[in-house]
Structure 1
């Protein structure tokens, strides 16, 4: 008798470890690499030539932090993404400098702890606010602990000069390959074109198992285009024709996205030629030229009629260059304040404040011991804790593993270079190389940590301090231990406030969108704006859930059931979109639409009760 040997099944890694090993993919961002190389090196060379090395070090630190926020997108959106955290960082540096000069260790620790509570609560608002919180705390620690001969105001001005230099490079340098012509709106063009390509991809996938993923990709493309177009309009009353055309092209993509989503909801394949029109529109956006004739799809169903109508409106918008101002995502001060003082802000702020304050207290207690050494800088420990405790940078266990591994690798690499490089020329070259590598290393937290460690240690030596690799490793491991302990401490109230807050916001947005559609309103601009907000808040909730479920089991259990609620809300918004398209072309809903809405309402009510998430009652009859 023979026995059949079953093939061994691969062992599944736990989510927290799998996340630590996962890296982003994509083409090399050569523009950001060029800016990184040109950011720190010239600033340091100018400071050495002028005899103000310490101010040069501060300016390079500012350029480094601005480079970390230098993400793909439009030039104007980068003004807020880089500039607002830089202004906050300058304020933190000034505050930390004067607090360090005039307060004792205990009072200084209390001030830094309170600052951590406030900055952590603000960080819960969104990505830019998170950058603000990070830079405030890092620069406050640097200002309080870095032994520099300069005044607080001179440090602050040097910091602003460093961040301003990186921002100027971001705004002025052309994109590689576009050295001629109008390159000011390259980021906006690429983002809007991606929306039309995503519409075409969703139409291709309609009726297949890939439709759900393609609809999510369309949402991501719309989010990126919305961000790209939401930068400051410096010429509000004399806006260029190219700028107006891009706004019109984005607005024209919204009804196309709506029609494609309704077709995907119906689940029936559409003719291949239906996707040809959006692809031609994408090519026209990228090339900044005319669309030419667009193939019209058959008008045999409401979704196809909506698609044909949207293509006609898009052609008119491309030719006329006029469109609605639908790109702006407006958040009232009241909603921001609710986020800051709500469950997410309180939980976030408490953990950041405890980690930052504990890091500062331990660092100052060890500052004069033999272990710490004469030349060590105590601000490294709390500054490291800030990056480790930020939940938007990844799950806690993943952050700790990546930070520890990256610091050890970066310190060893720097020690090897420091043994052979001439000073200061070799160290300046190392700063240039590390600055160029930051945009590439940003794909993985460990790689980014390694590159930043090399850059910071090089700056320390340029400033006249001895090689500090061993101290950097020790402080990072201490910060990892502090964050791991604080991250698993019980806190007042219910855990998982960030996830629940995102789900509640998504539920409110879905409710507003559905109520508008069922009201029979003919205001399509408002409908498309509400639809965008519904899908955007859902994407934010999905991201928060993905991070929460990749935590260690003790923390991941607080997000149980959240993914099911998000999936149901997504189906509800998809169904609402299908209802809107059907109402436009028939004036009434079918029994299938009503039955699906009622089913999703009941499912949401049941799942939200089990997961303790507050969702509004859906405006359905019967």
Structure 2
């Protein structure tokens, strides 16, 4: 009954109620508990409370970006946004006291335009844009007693402390008997092992209705492994034997994934033992052991022969610990510029700049009109607007509902805590508890907002600001109204849904680049696997953008109508291209089934793109 009721709800409301699932990230919980609390204790002991508050805010923002993955990947995922946040804090700290309200609003609006456009590049750029704007709002709207350069150093110290914990602390539960497994690479090892598990799961689903979902899961596993291995290295080449071994194991998984995809495309059942080899390889990756003997599948058709060859290659790579280094995703400066200055980046930037500037203007007007009551700082409203207007954080209506509900609940909870907790000891303990809860609360935007609201209100009270829960609720609701209006306004020169169309264009271009390489019958398999990875990755990104757009209110969701059908055709085209590549390797020519399917898919793609007003980016 509950399921039927949930299905009857509109998509924008269903999305607001959904929460991510998965195991508790205990390692991130430990880091969160050790982040803001100890920084505040040290600052209080040194008599520099305001700097401790800034450092704890930075540690909180870094904790939000502390996601599962490899340690080296976290350097960019946490470090780049922290640098952007420090730059924003510097600008806000020096611009706030020296510019009038109008000039300051124009400066903040300009920052919003830039940060919003850059956010279209990807998740790390988006996090950097968010922290740039949050830092500028805090610097301008929460004037601190310390010189600006000291506040910036405190911000960098707070983020750096969380990053240091991420790099040096072993994973909880790492037993002494496992010392032969270098815990520094546990994220990379888990990601690569998941690829082999996904290959095995896809092989088990060949010929069933689960094959499409399992192929998508394989793509996600490959994306995560590619990202995990792409972090910065101490040296240009892999610096340890364990690192070189992981690179070889990832590279060996690529032909396995290719063969499994070709088998799924053929829709013919495979022997049960076909999945045993990848599963043994997954166990070998996790245990850092040799692969041992692998069961060989029958070699009755090209895809099965490709699978057998890939297993032999993997066994050899596991034993040697060497292989091609194919993990790096290379994006040209031209592609990055196109993301920033293209239709998607422009629409993103305009909406972020408009919301950030409007919320800053309203906040300053209320501040100068003495509407704020007992607290003096006006940073809350523009900072709230930033988290609401970012399209990559979820559908607009879902974000607004969750932010409003989370802020109200968080403010009420904090009002209760503030009435009974001793100061500052109780508030410092509350900061530590909330820091530990941030990684768990990240599964749902409302839960995360609740925890962050309590944490920030505790921090500003430690810094000397009076309890202001009611005012923060009012400012949040005003920010929600501003973002809802601005998010639905038609923008000059923009038709709406530009980000979705940009994602479809990128997926189209990547799919046809991959197809062109395969049909050229080039023997360069490394390039082929790189193009295949890019085709599937961009397609997954496009599908994620389409899913978010489809869960918007009808006024926005209509702009993405039909794009899911285009993505489905592109997905079948890339799968067919993979099947063609495997068959060409085996026989040197395509069958009529392959050529007819390619022709039909390209015709269908042209038709679908014509219906949604798109165009082919590559012929």
TM-score by length of 2: 0.98
Choose the corresponding residue for 1:59, options 55, 62, 75.
55
| Alpha-carbon distance in structure 1 between the residues aligned to 2:618 and 2:24 | 47
- Runs of at least 5 residues in structure 1 that lack an aligned partner in the other structure: 1-6
Cα shift at 1:217: 0.3
Match of 1:505 in 2: 506
Deviations, residues 269-294 of structure 1 (Å, cap 9, x unaligned): 00000000000000000000011100
1:142 aligns with 2:138: yes
Match of 2:279 in 1: 279
Q: Is the 8 A contact 2:93 2:143 kept in 1?
A: no
Cα shift at 1:371: 2.8
1:195 aligns with 2:185: no
Worse-matched range after superposition: 294-303 or 11-20: 11-20
Equivalent position SS for 1:334: helix
| Alpha-carbon distance in structure 1 between the residues aligned to 2:618 and 2:469 | 57
Q: Is the 8 A contact 2:374 2:468 kept in 1?
A: no
| Alpha-carbon distance in structure 1 between the residues aligned to 2:398 and 2:329 | 32
1:395 aligns with 2:391: no
Q: 1:143 to 1:200 in 2, by over 3 A?
A: same
Match of 2:584 in 1: 583
Q: Is the 8 A contact 2:374 2:466 kept in 1?
A: no
Q: Is the 8 A contact 1:368 1:374 kept in 2?
A: no
Cα shift at 1:204: 0.1
Cα shift at 1:237: 4.8
Q: Is the 8 A contact 2:515 2:577 kept in 1?
A: yes
| Alpha-carbon distance in structure 2 between the residues aligned to 1:377 and 1:304 | 66
Match of 1:297 in 2: 297
Cα shift at 1:505: 0.4
| Alpha-carbon distance in structure 2 between the residues aligned to 1:414 and 1:616 | 53
Equivalent position SS for 2:300: coil
| Alpha-carbon distance in structure 2 between the residues aligned to 1:571 and 1:501 | 20
Match of 2:123 in 1: 127
Matches within 5 A, 1:12-91: 12-91=8-87
Match of 2:381 in 1: 381
Deviations, residues 293-332 of structure 1 (Å, cap 9, x unaligned): 0000000010000000000000010011111121100111
Q: Is the 8 A contact 1:86 1:132 kept in 2?
A: yes
| Alpha-carbon distance in structure 2 between the residues aligned to 1:352 and 1:365 | 20
Q: Is the 8 A contact 1:404 1:477 kept in 2?
A: yes
Match of 1:606 in 2: 607
Match of 1:539 in 2: 540
1:525 aligns with 2:521: no
Q: 1:9 to 1:33 in 2, by over 3 A?
A: closer
Match of 2:453 in 1: 453
| Alpha-carbon distance in structure 1 between the residues aligned to 2:206 and 2:460 | 57
Q: 1:14 to 1:438 in 2, by over 3 A?
A: same
Q: Is the 8 A contact 1:15 1:550 kept in 2?
A: yes
| Alpha-carbon distance in structure 2 between the residues aligned to 1:95 and 1:85 | 15
Matches within 5 A, 1:551-570: 551-570=552-571
Equivalent position SS for 1:547: helix
Q: Is the 8 A contact 2:509 2:618 kept in 1?
A: no
Match of 1:4 in 2: none
Q: Is the 8 A contact 1:376 1:468 kept in 2?
A: no
Q: 1:358 to 1:117 in 2, by over 3 A?
A: same
CA RMSD of aligned residues (A): 1.3
Choose the corresponding residue for 1:165, options 161, 170, 177.
161
Cα shift at 1:334: 1.4
Matches within 5 A, 1:314-463: 314-463=314-463
Equivalent position SS for 1:101: coil
Q: 1:309 to 1:119 in 2, by over 3 A?
A: same
| Alpha-carbon distance in structure 1 between the residues aligned to 2:293 and 2:498 | 51
Choose the corresponding residue for 2:111, options 102, 111, 115.
115
Deviations, residues 397-436 of structure 1 (Å, cap 9, x unaligned): 0000000000000001111111100010000000000000
| Alpha-carbon distance in structure 2 between the residues aligned to 1:272 and 1:507 | 35
Match of 2:101 in 1: 105
Q: Is the 8 A contact 1:59 1:162 kept in 2?
A: yes
Q: 1:9 to 1:85 in 2, by over 3 A?
A: closer
| Alpha-carbon distance in structure 1 between the residues aligned to 2:399 and 2:327 | 34
Deviations, residues 372-398 of structure 1 (Å, cap 9, x unaligned): 114242111000000000011100000
Cα shift at 1:8: 12
Aligned length: 613
Match of 1:176 in 2: 172
Equivalent position SS for 1:102: coil
Q: 1:54 to 1:223 in 2, by over 3 A?
A: same
| Alpha-carbon distance in structure 2 between the residues aligned to 1:163 and 1:62 | 5
- Runs of at least 5 residues in structure 2 that lack an aligned partner in the other structure: none
| Alpha-carbon distance in structure 2 between the residues aligned to 1:321 and 1:8 | 49
Deviations, residues 585-604 of structure 1 (Å, cap 9, x unaligned): 01110000000000000000
| Alpha-carbon distance in structure 1 between the residues aligned to 2:236 and 2:351 | 41
| Alpha-carbon distance in structure 1 between the residues aligned to 2:566 and 2:524 | 29
